[in-house]
């Protein structure tokens, strides 16, 4: 049977759009498919990590330049991690990075795909089911339509249909992270170019204030949930966020601030172990492959890198006309080689700090000169 597309990328977030950009020039007929129409929002902290710029620049330096020159970004050069009001660690970096509302950032990447590639764009098309046959993959959509593609790339986020349909039964993780995000205007005491993370020890989570352009700030709260523990009462993140902003530590800063738009929650499929992210005629990228750093919660950069690496793998599969799961496993290995050691180490640290929160308090009590903090962050690639 003749296929409609060589490659069908499901999901046009950072992973999917980057994969489409990376496939440009390989002589393949590519479709980029999303259930939403762009621009669309995505619940996130909106901190675009420096490594995301490296991923796009690797494809084409002018794309990296355009991403840097993007006018909705607010340059960020440091983070302040508060263990209490007085105990704070500050880290300053040199790698270019900014904060940008995802509705703008993702739209920028999506427009880049439209302008710079021959990708076929299909919006408002929700994948309902995907099946892999020996010769092609069939994608069925909620509007009743279907397409056939030689390869499917699952970039469809945390609740990936591609993953659910094509990965053989997976053990669910016992640890889950959920987070809530609100946009505020008029918070006092925001330092230029500095993201704030406040560890709230009473609830095993952290509260962030990430500044954005024009006096806006992305404010959120993330919580680790041990699914195996039945003794915890369910937590309402919205209520908790309100309690934090009205607590004595923050009340004055939020006194005249206003919430803009809806306050929404979403889950973070953090990396917990090496898992299968490919198979016969398919690959997974970004959140669909659980590529979120477990310690810091960033996933935009990892998603974009996986999009680049998936495109390299697909190019090789077409050259060799081999789409077997055996051939695809080279992608799993490459991903693990690039990110596995760092993510494993951060998962270990995250569990250590969750188990013994006192460690963080002890660390924060010491005075570390700025040079040592920066050296440590660079060495640990935090
Ligand atoms: C509260 C929160 C805060 C975060 N903060 C940060 C941060 O500050 N920095 C950072 O780097 N990361 C952060 N992350 C993680 C980051 O948001 C993700 O890692 C990143 O969005 C992954 O990109 P993606 O392209 O893989 O998936 P997504 O961005 O989720 O994109 C998936 C796309 O697939 C589409 N889709 C889904 N299902 C279907 C379907 N069935 N059919 C068709 N299309 C479909 C969706 O519409 C969407 O456009 C945060 C996450 C959360 C939840």
**pLDDT tens digits for 180-217?**
999 999 999 999 999 999 988 766 788 999 999 999 99
Q: What's domain 5-48+102-171+271-351's architecture?
A: 3-Layer(bba) Sandwich (3.50)
Ligand 1 atom, smallest distance to 52 CA: 11
Pocket lining: 270 vs ligand 1, CB cutoff 6 Å: no
Q: Which atom of ligand 1 is nearest to the CA of 125?
A: 43
Residue 45 beta carbon below 6 angstroms from any ligand 1 atom: yes
How high does pLDDT run on average in the chain? Answer: 91
Chain segment 258-293, per-residue pLDDT in tens:
999 999 999 899 999 999 999 999 999 999 999 999
- Residue 169 has a pLDDT of 73
pTM of the model: 0.94
Using CA atoms, how far apart are residues 22 and 13, in angstroms rounded to an integer? Answer: 14
Q: Compute the C-alpha angle 195/198/201, nearest 5°.
A: 160
> Could you tell me if the CB of 292 is within 6 A of ligand 1?
yes
Structure-token match 């440091």, residue found: 78
Q: Give me ligand 1 centre to Cα 247, in Å.
A: 30
- Burial 264-300, CB ≥16 within 10 A → b, else e: ebbbbbbbbeebbbbbbbbbbbbbbbbbbbbbbbbbb
Which residue owns the Cα nearest ligand 1 atom 2? 44
Domain-by-domain residue ranges, the chain?
A: 5-48+102-171+271-351
Ligand 1 pocket member 35 (CB < 6 A): yes
Tens digit of each residue's pLDDT (9 = 90 or more) over 220-240: 998 877 655 555 666 788 898
Instruction: Say yes or no: CB of residue 306 within 6 Å of ligand 1.
Output: no
Ligand 1 centre distance from Cα of residue 200 (Å): 25
3-state secondary structure (DSSP) of residue 188: coil
Average of per-residue pLDDT across 319-341:
97
Closest CA to 92 of 379, 370, 368, 295: 370
Q: What is the pLDDT of residue 89?
A: 85
CB-based contacts of 6, cutoff 8 Å, min separation 6: 28, 29, 30, 149, 150, 151, 318
- Residue 203 in contact with residue 240, Cβ under 8 Å? yes
Q: Is the minimum distance from the CB of 220 to ligand 1 under 6 angstroms?
A: yes
Predicted confidence (pLDDT) at residue 109 exceeds the cutoff of 70: yes
Model pLDDT, residue 176: 76
Q: Is 49 in the pocket of ligand 1 (CB under 6 A)?
A: yes
Q: What percent of the chain has pLDDT over 90?
A: 76
- Per-residue model confidence (pLDDT) at position 368: 62
- Please give the C-alpha separations between residue 189 and each of 46, 99, 186, 193, 334, in angstroms, as whole numbers: 19, 18, 10, 12, 44
Q: How far apart are CA 100 and CA 202, in angstroms?
A: 30
Q: Is 44 in the pocket of ligand 1 (CB under 6 A)?
A: yes
32 Cβ inside 6 Å of ligand 1: no
What are the DSSP calls for 123-175, one per residue? Answer: -S--EEEEEE-SS-EEEEETTS-EEEEEEEEE---TT-HHHHHHS---PPPSE
**Mean pLDDT value of segment 47-60:** 97
């Amino acid at each position: 049977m003749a296929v409609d597309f060589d490659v069908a990328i499901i999901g046009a977030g950072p992973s999917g759009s980057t994969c489409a950009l990376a496939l440009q020039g390989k002589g393949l007929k590519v479709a980029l498919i999303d259930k939403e129409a762009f621009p669309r929002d995505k619940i996130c902290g909106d901190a675009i990590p420096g490594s995301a710029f490296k991923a796009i620049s690797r494809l084409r330096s002018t794309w990296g330049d355009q991403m840097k020159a993007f006018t909705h970004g607010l340059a960020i050069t440091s983070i302040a991690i508060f263990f209490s009001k007085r105990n704070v660690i500050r880290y300053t970096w040199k790698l270019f990075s900014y904060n940008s509302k995802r509705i703008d950032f993702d739209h920028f990447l999506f427009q880049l795909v439209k302008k710079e590639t021959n990708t076929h764009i299909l919006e408002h098309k929700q994948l309902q089911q995907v099946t892999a046959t020996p010769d092609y993959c069939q994608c069925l959509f909620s509007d009743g339509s279907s397409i056939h593609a030689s390869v499917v790339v699952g970039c469809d986020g945390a609740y990936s249909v591609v993953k659910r349909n094509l990965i053989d039964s997976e053990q669910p993780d016992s640890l889950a992270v959920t987070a809530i995000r609100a946009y505020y205007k008029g918070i006092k005491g925001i330092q230029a170019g500095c993201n704030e993370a406040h560890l709230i020890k009473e609830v095993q989570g952290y509260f962030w204030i990430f500044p954005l352009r024009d006096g806006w700030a992305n404010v959120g709260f993330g919580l680790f949930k041990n699914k195996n523990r039945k003794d915890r009462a369910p937590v309402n993140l919205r209520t908790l966020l309100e309690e934090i902003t009205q607590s004595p530590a923050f009340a004055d800063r939020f006194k005249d601030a206003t919430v803009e738009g809806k306050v929404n929650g979403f889950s973070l499929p953090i990396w917990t172990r090496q898992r299968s992210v490919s198979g016969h005629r398919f690959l997974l990228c970004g959140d669909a492959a659980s590529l979120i750093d477990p310690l810091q919660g960033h996933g935009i950069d990892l998603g974009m890198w996986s999009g680049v690496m998936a495109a390299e793998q697909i190019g090789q599969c077409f050259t060799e006309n081999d789409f077997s799961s055996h051939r695809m496993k080279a992608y799993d290995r490459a991903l693990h080689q690039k990110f596995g050691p760092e993510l494993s180490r951060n998962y270990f640290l995250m569990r250590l700090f969750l188990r013994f929160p006192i460690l963080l308090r002890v660390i924060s009590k010491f005075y570390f000169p700025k040079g040592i903090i920066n050296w440590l962050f660079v060495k640990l690639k935090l």
